[in-house]
Every structure is written in structure tokens, then in C-alpha cells.
Structure 1
Amino acid sequence: MEIIENGYIFSDDVQKIDPISVHHYLSTQSYWAEGIPLETVQKSIDNSLCFGIYKDTKQIGFARWITDKTTFAYLADVYVLEEHRGLGLSKKLMSLMLFHPDLQGLRRYMLATQDAHGLYAQFGFKALEHPDRLMAIVVPKVYQQ
């Protein structure tokens, strides 16, 4: 699946993804994956349904679904480079990802965000009705060990 709009390419073609660019952003600019090793990023790409945004063949955005493509999907590692923000690229990417054929009819779509609640609310995401039903094991600073 590929869409070209205003000089940007939105694609689910994993062959287009630049793991070095994704790693650079996640390891140095994200609050959730600071210090993540390149090998971990590559493995996450290999085992997820990934999407990229490209401008002049350069990777400027990325997101991935961790999913069984049947009942559940968790959205992770969403970013658009700072210099390309404010152009509606995140909204276009979200539309492409939510309507992807492999993600239709799922029981649950989830994500975690520190600062993008407004974006995701536009696509139907909302706070959990029963957060007390969810549990997690969180390993702080796992990539700094």
C-alpha cells in the first residue's frame, strides 16, 4: 500500500524502511526508546507491520503495529521529524495505518503516549474504561544496562 501526497510518500513496504534513520531517531530523540540498540530496532521492524513516510527518498517518519493481525494491535514508535511536523503527515499516516487491510476487524487497538492524546483521539482512541484491568512489567532504562 502506497500513497503519494504533496511530495511525501506513505508506504507499508518494509523494503523502503531505513533502519539506520529509525534507529537514530528512536535512540537519540524519543523519550520512550533512548539508547535502543540498532539490532533491537531491526528486530522490531522485522516482527511488526511497519509504515514509513518519505520525502525525496529520505525517511522522515515511521510507525509500527505489533499485531497478530486477527484480534489485537499495539501502535508503537510513531514519529515525524521535527522539520516536517505541522503538515498533517501524522494524520495521513494514522489514516493509512488504521484502514490497512491486515488490521480490519480487530477486537482491540492500543497505544501509549505522553503527549499526543489529541492526535489519537481524532481516530477514536480514548482513555481506558477499566485501567485497573491492565497490568504491565516495566523495565526502566532497559537500553542503558
Structure 2
Amino acid sequence: MTVNTSDYSISTDKSKLNFNVIYNFIANSYWAKGIPKSVMQSAIDNSMCFGVYSAHNEQVGFARVVTDKATFAYLADVFIAPHLQGNGLSKLLIKTIVEHPELQGLRRFLLATSDAHGLYAQYGFKPIDNPALLMQISPENVYGKNNRDTY
């Protein structure tokens, strides 16, 4: 699936992804700082991925969805290149994801974030009504640092 504007496109074609761009951003992010390359590659291989590209096919953004495409999805690793933030690309990316035909009719679509709540709220995301319903396993120092409560 590809969505085009005059200046940018969003594609689910994994062959277009620039692993180095993705890895360099994610490995320095607050949520996955220090993630090993092999782990990031496995995450991409086993997820539904959305790449954001300039008119010159430069990758400028990314998001991935972990899903069974029937009942559940988890949005992760969302980013737009810092020099392009504030230009509506995040909105286009999230809109494209939540409207994707294979992600309709899900019982639950989750994400974890410490920022951009206002962006996600525009597309129906809201705080969990009863956080006690969800539990997690979150080992300490999984990527060589304590990142258990960073988002």
C-alpha cells in the first residue's frame, strides 16, 4: 500500500526501507536507546512497517505495527526526521496507519508514549480506561541500560 502527496509518500513496501536511517534514529531514542541492530532488524522483519519518503525517495520517517490483523495491534517506533517535524507528516503517517484496510475492526489498538499525546488523540487513541487490565514484563537493562519506565 502506498499513499502519495505532492511532496511525500508512505509505503508498506519493506524493500524500500532504509535500515540505517531507521536504526540510527531508534537506537538513539528515549524508548529503545542502545537497541542492538539484530533486534531492530528482527522487529522490522516481524512487523507491519510504514516508511515515509520524500519526493527524492529519501526515508524521512517510520512506524511499525505489531499485529495479528484480526483483534490486536501495537503501534511502535514512530518517528519523523527532526528537521521535518511540525509539517504535518506525523499526522499523515498516523492517519495512514489507523485507516489501513488490514487494521480495521480490531478490538484493541495500543501504543506507549511519553510525548505527542495530542497527536495520537486526534486519531482516537486515549488513555486506558482501566490500567489495571494491562500487565507487562519489562526486564531491567534489556539494552544495557535501565529503560523500564522511559515511556
**Hey, what does 2:11 align to over in structure 1?**
11
Tell me the distance in 2 between the aligned counterparts of 1:62 and 1:101. 18
Give the deviation of 1:140 after TM superposition: 3.2
SS at match of 2:53: strand
Provide TM-score, normalisation by structure 1.
0.95
**Letter matched to residue 42 of structure 1:** Q
**Hey, what does 1:51 align to over in structure 2?**
50
Percent of aligned pairs sharing the same letter: 49
SS at match of 1:143: coil
**Hey, what does 2:30 align to over in structure 1?**
31
* Comparing 71-80 and 48-57, the one that deviates more: 48-57
Q: Which has the higher helix share?
A: 1
- Write out aligned runs for 1:40-119 (5 A): 40-55=39-54, 56-119=56-119
Give the deviation of 1:23 after TM superposition: 0.6
Unaligned runs of 5+ residues in structure 1 are: none
RMSD value over aligned CA atoms?
1.1
Count of paired positions: 144
Structure 1 ranges of 4+ moved more than 3 A: none
1:128 aligns with 2:128: yes
SS at match of 1:95: helix
Query: What do the CA deviations read for 1:28-74 (whole angstroms, capped 9, x no partner)?
Result: 2x100101111111111110000010112211100000000110000
**Letter matched to residue 80 of structure 2:** V
Tell me the distance in 2 between the aligned counterparts of 1:140 and 1:8. 39
Provide TM-score, normalisation by structure 2.
0.92
**Hey, what does 1:143 align to over in structure 2?**
143
